Amino acid sequence: MPVVLRPLDPWCGTVVDCHDESGERLTRVFVDVTDVKRSQVKRADAVIVTHPYRDHYGGVPRTGPEVVYSDEVTAALLELEGVDPGRLERVKRCFEVGVFVVETYPINHAVPEARAVLLEADARALITGDWCALGEHPPL
């Protein structure tokens, strides 16, 4: 199952798609969804928000995800943004989203709730949320 990662923004937000052998998309997960004004934000099976900064959750209302995994602070902010509370789940240490097994890890960040996200299918992807440093755009 091919896994493809694409950045949403130079600072944060990653789309992780998993396809079957015929190329049909099986699962799409966004790790953070920046508040972009462009139409590149499309429907996701799930969104995982790494921490409660607006540049990490601001685009969630436009993705129409089945479920949003976040900490309690971010969940409260998302409800204020109009996200249906029935779609909000508290992020856990380990859970599944479609074909992905997801693990989260606390990271050293100004926000105590911040987490790194490890997604695993046939490949592994570790996403820390803020992935750009000093304006440089490193490859994922």
Task: Show Cβ contacts of residue 112 under 8 Å, excluding neighbours closer than 6 positions.
Answer: none
Instruction: Give a yes or no: residue 99 inside a domain.
Output: yes
How many domains does one find in the chain?
A: 1
Where in the sequence is the domain holding 102, given as residue range(s)?
Answer: 3-127
Asked if residues 79 and 101 have their Cβ atoms less than 8 Å apart, the reply is no
Whichever domain contains 106, its CATH number is: 3.60.15.10
Extract the tokens encoding 114: 């911040």
Using DSSP's 3-state secondary structure scheme, residue 68 falls into strand
Instruction: Give a yes or no: residue 137 inside a domain.
Output: no
pLDDT along the chain (140 residues), means of 10: 80 86 87 70 85 89 85 94 92 94 90 90 85 51
Instruction: Give a yes or no: residue 86 inside a domain.
Output: yes
Say what the pTM is.
0.87
Instruction: Give a yes or no: residue 41 inside a domain.
Output: yes
Instruction: Give a yes or no: residue 94 inside a domain.
Output: yes
Looking at residue 95, its pLDDT comes to 96
Angle at 4 between CA 140 and CA 129, to 5 degrees: 45
Looking at residue 69, its pLDDT comes to 96
Instruction: Give a yes or no: residue 139 inside a domain.
Output: no
- Alpha-carbon distances of 139 from 5, 11, 22, 49, 136, rounded to whole Å: 10, 12, 27, 21, 10
Summarize pLDDT for 44-58 with one digit per residue, the tens: 899 999 999 988 998
